[in-house]
Chain A
Amino acid sequence: MSLATSSPPSAAPGRPIVRLEHISKTFSNGTIALKDMSLTIRAGEFISLLGPSGCGKSTALRMLAGLGEPSSGSIVWPDDKAASKGSEGEIGFVFQEPTLMPWATVFKNVWLPLRLKGISKEAARPRVMEALEMVGLDKFVDSYPRELSGGMKMRVSIARALVTRPRILLMDEPFAALDEITRQKLNDDLLRLWEQFGWTIVFVTHSVFESVYLSSRIVVMAARPGRVIDEIDVDAPHPRGIGFRTSQAYGEYCRRTSESLLSAIGAADHL
């Protein structure tokens, strides 16, 4: 089985994939969702955007995906001269909800991004099956979403994001609606896949513990107006597992991240 690597072979590790340059976003009602955010995302990084609600972390992610333009500033994809924003196939996006089509089987849901590009069912089958195998759902191709548990729906959603072999995987609080046990299991699985395939992931979360466990870098954000207040590199070695989660270093990273987040909440008047 060929491995679905996201980063093109030419891209050396650490090479910038996308740069946010002083982007701001003001909504039509006057809310400043994001103010002057700059961030360089490098190949193979696992970046968490961490912050309270209203800090613009989801807004930033959506603009990265090309859903909505920044009010000012620019998003630069250095490898991609033609398209200024992430064009099709470059990006995989996982929403907070599984966002599956209830009338379509698991197979058809995962096939969708390829189908929209005109790839036939037979031509897409190997890639769809590969993506489903990665998330451990290859035995459920003919099931309908309602027949699956919450965790399994989320896995289908992840498989759909991976099927285009995206250069960058954007995840918007993907596990927030799941129970703690399922969430931990999916975190472990995501981390294992990331360690194996070396994708670039931007992961939005409001959980300190999740962000420290998963990330190579945490971008701490504050609300009103949404902005970046801190960046924390998590240098703990991989593979990470239960050992890391119970280590002193993990506790230390969590303490440091929580303090940073608290200073952000202190800076805003109320929650």
Chain B
Amino acid sequence: MTSIDQGPAAAETSPAAAHEDTPAAPIPTMPVSERILRILIPLVMLAMLIGLWAWYVAAYNIPKYILPGPDLVAQSLVKDWPILGMALLVTLKITFAALAIALVGGVALAILLTSSKWIELALSPYMVILQVTPVVAIAPLILIYAPSTQSALLICAWIVAFFPVLSNTTQGLKSTDHNLLNLFELYGASRWQTMIHLKLPAALPYFLAGLRIAGGLALIAAVVAEFAAGSAGAGSGLAFRLLESQYRLNIPRLFAALILLCATGVVIYGATSLISHLLLRRWHESAIRREN
């Protein structure tokens, strides 16, 4: 959504304009102290957890092949970065490629499903089957059929990520306000216009909720599929490096790979939440602070 440039009219726009019905309060902003606390509290919590971890390992003399201390893991993260960084890149590529295809495919299929109840009747059972079958169970088949391991991983991640986008967007497209649909009919809107100007914007909050789920699932599926595929070698992702570290009892590196995965997941979640917030903050209830 782009905001409208009102030109000269904007200069007159003033929320304090004299009028008999007063507008609702402007979007409330958070006080500064709360903003600081919102950043500070999670950071303090993180520091405390790492401190507890370091203390436990030192106090009880835990061997590093069972639980390495945070210092060892950090060292490993730096020392093994060439290997882990490459693996991360591979995993990220699969994750984002799968997510991108899932978004396009999910939205396109949702539009198709809601355009005709016959198409919905014909296709939706297969969508459900695709969703409920564990991806680990179909991964071996996909590995056989797919031209390369990378494309097999992509297909697995896509299957998992695409369903939340599809089901949420479908729900959103069906939840359009009936009065607004009547209004569009009254003004002779074409199907295309109704889709662009009404149904898609109305489905946006639902789609964004799907995106947040799909973002996390795409990463999980990329890792799980790689486990299932048992791929190995230089072109492998973080999942292979995890397994490899386990076989070699290189537990610090295993932890380092795990931390990279966690961080990636958190960043994806944060990014999708931010996108959602930016798109909805002006109008949707979910993005507005309640003030009583």
Q: State whether A140 touches B4 (Cβ < 8 A).
A: no
The interface size bin for chain B is 35 or more
Q: Tell me the complex Cα distance, A91–B186, Å.
A: 8
Interface centre among A107, A116, A121, A149 (most CB of B within 10 A): A116
Whether the pair A139, B184 counts as a contact (CB closer than 8 A) is: no
Flag the segment in B19-27, B47-55, B150-158, B162-170 that touches A: B19-27
Q: Mark A88-103, 1 if CB is under 8 A from B, else 0.
A: 1001010101010111
B187 in complex: contacting residue of A62, A88, A138, A141, CB < 8 Å: A88
Given A108-B4, A139-B14, A141-B13: A116 touches B283 (CB 8 Å cut-off): no
- Among the listed B23, B182, B187, B204, which residue makes an inter-chain contact with A116, where contact means beta carbons less than 8 Å apart? B187
Is B9 a contact of A129 with CB atoms below 8 Å?
A: yes
Of B12, B14, B189, B198, chain A has the most CB atoms within 10 Å of the CB of B189
Residue B177 interfacial (CB < 8 Å): yes
Chain B min CB distance to A237 (Å):
26
Contact, CB under 8 Å: B4 / A142: yes
Determine how close the nearest CB of chain B comes to the CB of A158; give it in whole angstroms.
Answer: 13
A256 adjacent to chain B (CB < 8 Å):
no
The answer to whether B1 touches A182 (Cβ under 8 A) is no
Q: A88 contacts which chain B residues (CB < 8 A)?
A: 186-188
Query: Is A147 an interface residue, CB under 8 A from the partner?
Result: yes
Q: Is the CB of B283 within 8 A of A99?
A: no
Cβ of A136 under 8 Å from chain B:
yes
User: Out of B24, B186, B193, which one reaches A67, CB within 8 Å?
Assistant: B186
Pick from B4, B27, B198: contact of A105, CB under 8 Å: B4
Confirm or deny: A16 has a beta carbon within 8 angstroms of a beta carbon on chain B: no
| Contact call A149/B24, Cβ cutoff below 8 A | yes
Is residue A37 within 8 Å, beta carbon to beta carbon, of the partner chain? no
Are B3 and A136 in contact, CB atoms less than 8 angstroms apart? no
| A97/B21 contact (C-beta < 8 A), A115-B197, A141-B4 known | no
Given A99-B180, A103-B201: A139 and B24 interface contact (C-beta under 8 Å): no
Of the candidates A65, A101, A121, A152, the one whose C-beta lies within 8 Å of that of B180 is A101
Q: Is B183 within 8 A of A146, CB to CB? A: no
B185 interface residue (CB < 8 Å to A): yes
**A residues apposed to B, CB below 8 Å:** 62, 65-67, 87-88, 91, 93, 95, 97, 99, 101-105, 107-108, 112-113, 115-117, 121, 125, 129, 136-152, 164, 182, 185
Would you give 12 A-B contacts (Cβ < 8 Å), ordered by A? A66-B185, A87-B188, A97-B179, A103-B201, A104-B201, A107-B4, A136-B19, A139-B14, A140-B23, A147-B24, A147-B27, A149-B21
